[in-house]
Amino acid sequence: MTEKTKIAVLVSGGGTNLQALIDAQQNGALKSGEIVLVVSNRTSAYALERAKKAGIETAVLLRREYGERFEDRLIEILREKKIELIIMAGFLSILDEKFTRAFPRRIINVHPSLIPSFCGKGYYGLRVHEEALRYGVKVTGATVHYVNEITDGGEIISQKAVEIQTGDTPEILQERVMRQAEWILLPAAAEKVSKEIMERKEARKAMDIYKINTPEELIAGNSYVGRGIVVGKTQDGKKAAAAYFIMGRSENSRNRIFVEKNGEVFTQPYDETKVKDPSLIIYAAIRSFENDLIVTNGNQTDTICDFLKEGKTFSEALATREFEPDAPNLTPRISAILHFGNGDFTYEMSILKSADAQGSACSRYTFSYRPLPGLGHFLHTYVCDGNPIPSFQGEPERMTVDDEIDVFTARLWNSLDPDNKISLYVRYIDLATGETENRLVNKNV
């Protein structure tokens, strides 16, 4: 899950707006962002005490100490803390264009009037309310806006009107505007902008097509990914890796174990007396032919071997097969083949899936790869649990492959749902020597 937006609040005085933000964070109104830093340009600002009471880190930055480097140092502090949103809550220091350009659309400010009235250079504190009363306006209010190089000139995010009453003084009006507008608008705007920042981060994360995910990221928390194949190369580039696991929901599916015979892996019943339909659950999962290693989730393993013996290809073999006839799920057939030679290997992966909910036609997809260190590809039968169970979508997912077989085996096995996982087999092949390491894990023992 994407981390909350990191917020810094800039203050100069008592910090009533800061307190409104802290209260919103504590009561859940501000849930997409987290205040991680409060910065003041005055050592005496009571806002610093409010922050400390809330357990928020504080910093004091005095313009007289830094002079022209004030903004540079402030930028440094905010970047060190990886701040994503800056809230100016009564910060009585004009920041230059260099600062605003360093954080475009990442700085917001609350101003105690309905911009464009009573705003701009010199309009802050009581003066805003004094001018509103002097002009005799009947309505004032507050505005939250983005900060740019023009004082109070950034895009407006939200506004709220407040009625001016007979007998108002600047102090009374200031208090009413804070209670009826600022303390409501600012937390809401902070949540709105924080959420937008989070969504953009999530979108960027989703668009990182070259990210290599961990087994935990791809499997953990998903109760039913079905059967899965992982093929890739270890991070040190020395070994090929192939893994296959099975899961099950029904008694018939769960009544299985893996067994290894002469380097080949088969599924077989754990309790033969409980077998109802062996056709889709009993098969050779891993077989070898010459310099090829075949891994599949069904009896297409034998089909591929037979075609290779005839000098034909992986794709030609699978062109004769289709998804499993287990309506309404129409489980995809997934397959992989590793071609070894010249101290390295290449691999292909395939999925055969129904073209529609009725099983009217089969769609066939084949993916060919030249291995990269640390990168594996993960193909599984289902997206998640369901009724019917939704078939896998898209390209094989990118998964990290650990150097140590025991580490990789444990990460895969521990990521699988504890109720539905059945068996896992992992094989590492040393590309220099051809030696293999195997790990077999059965839930039913």
Q: Examine the pLDDT at 2 and tell me if it is beyond 70.
A: no
The second-level CATH assignment, the architecture, of 215-442 is: 4-Layer Sandwich (3.60)
Q: Please say whether the beta carbons of 375 and 176 come within 8 A.
A: no
Q: Where are the domains of the chain?
A: 5-206, 215-442
Q: Examine the pLDDT at 166 and tell me if it is beyond 70.
A: yes
Average pLDDT, the chain: 93
Digit-coded pLDDT (tens) for 107-146: 999 999 999 999 988 898 899 999 999 999 999 999 999 9
**Cα 50 from Cα 48, distance rounded (Å):** 5
Q: Examine the pLDDT at 278 and tell me if it is beyond 80.
A: no
Residue 280: the pLDDT is 62
Chain-centroid distance of CA 233 in Å reads 24
Question: Of residues 111, 129, 145, 380, which has the active-site annotation?
Answer: 111
Q: Is 380 a catalytic residue?
A: no
**Cα 39 from Cα 60, distance rounded (Å):** 6
> Band of the pLDDT at 338, cuts 50, 70, 90?
very high
Q: Give the mean model confidence (pLDDT) for residues 387-413.
A: 96
Percent of the chain at pLDDT exceeding 90: 83
The second-level CATH assignment, the architecture, of 5-206 is: 3-Layer(aba) Sandwich (3.40)
Digit-coded pLDDT (tens) for 24-62: 999 999 999 999 999 999 999 999 999 999 999 999 999
Write the CA distances from 389 to 90, 154, 299, 326, 440, integer angstroms: 55, 50, 21, 11, 27
**Cα 364 from Cα 289, distance rounded (Å):** 23
Percent of the chain at pLDDT exceeding 70: 99
Q: Which of 94-98, 192-196, 355-359 shows the lowest per-residue confidence on average (mean pLDDT)?
A: 94-98
**Token pair belonging to 232:** 């890739």
Q: Examine the pLDDT at 337 and tell me if it is beyond 80.
A: yes
3-state helix, strand, coil in the chain (%, to 5): 30, 30, 40
Say whether pTM exceeds 0.85: no
Q: Which of 75-79, 91-95, 166-170, 187-191 shows the lowest per-residue confidence on average (mean pLDDT)?
A: 91-95
Name which of 196, 193, 198 is nearest 156 in CA terms. Answer: 193
Q: Please say whether the beta carbons of 430 and 419 come within 8 A.
A: no
**Cα 265 from Cα 245, distance rounded (Å):** 11
> Band of the pLDDT at 308, cuts 50, 70, 90?
very high
Residue 415: the pLDDT is 95
Q: Examine the pLDDT at 207 and tell me if it is beyond 80.
A: no
Cis check: omega of the bond before 215, within 30 degrees of 0:
no
Q: Please say whether the beta carbons of 287 and 264 come within 8 A.
A: yes
